[in-house]
Amino acid sequence: MSEAEPTVAAVLAPLFFSADGRPHAVLTKRRPDLRRHAGEISFPGGRHDPEDPDLATTALREAEEEIGLARARVQILGQLPRVSTFVTGYEIHPYVGMVPTGLSWRPSPREVDAVLELGLEELRAARTRTRIERRGFEFETDAYILEGHVIWGATARILEHLLTRQAALLDGLAPDRASSSVPGPA
């Protein structure tokens, strides 16, 4: 795949308010045996399928497939700037969605090792620079290190955009309103 023809993908950054009213993001830890991005922390998402009418649908479909998040349970709040992966050639279109508090996740055994619920304020405080080794190369990069998880690369850039726009995205969504404004079970 040439640089002029990136693989178009979309991810969903699901947010919810914890019982104490603090916003959290839902991420996944990818299985360690995957061909691409093995063992990495990411938002649920994947390639755009020709059957998907738009990229928001791609993000919702992939979140449903990867973590069992029913599309009807997501209130799309907005879209973040697209980001690219440098080595694998993906052009990622991130969407932010509010989901009800207390959902049970059903991780795809083929793709997802774990589902993570991480507080946005804890993530903000966890921003750092670190050295990473991938495919025999060691390099320094911006990252978020929280609870032993290293979030870097495209996911870290998406997270940076999310944290920058957090106030605007969540404006007017009080924790009790956010939970009740999201549709019930589908």
In tens, the pLDDT along 39-52 reads 689 999 999 999 99
Euclidean distance between CA atoms 136 and 162, whole angstroms: 31
Burial class (CB in 10 A: 0-12, 13-18, 19+), 139: exposed
Outline where the chain has alpha helix (H).
55-67, 120-125, 153-170, 175-181
- What global pTM score does this model have? 0.88
Contact assessment for residue 47 and residue 9, using Cβ atoms and an 8 Å cutoff: yes
Tell me what percent of the residues of the chain surpass a pLDDT of 70.
87
pLDDT in tens, the chain (186 residues): 444 689 999 999 999 999 999 999 999 998 867 666 556 899 999 999 999 999 999 999 999 999 999 999 999 999 999 999 877 889 999 999 999 999 999 999 999 999 999 999 999 999 999 888 777 788 889 999 999 999 999 999 999 999 999 999 998 886 654 444 444 443
Rg for the chain, CA atoms, rounded: 16
C-alpha to C-alpha distance for 9 and 15, rounded to whole angstroms: 20
6 φ/ψ angles, rounded to the nearest 5 degrees: -70, 160
Alpha helices in 17-138 (DSSP H): 55-67, 120-125
What dihedral angle (degrees, nearest 10) is formed by the CA atoms of 53, 94, 152, 7?
30
Please, are residues 140 and 131 in contact by the beta-carbon 8 Å criterion?
yes
109: which residues sit within 8 A by CB, 6+ positions away?
A: none
Tokens of 3: 């640089």
- The second-level CATH assignment, the architecture, of 7-175 is Alpha-Beta Complex (3.90)
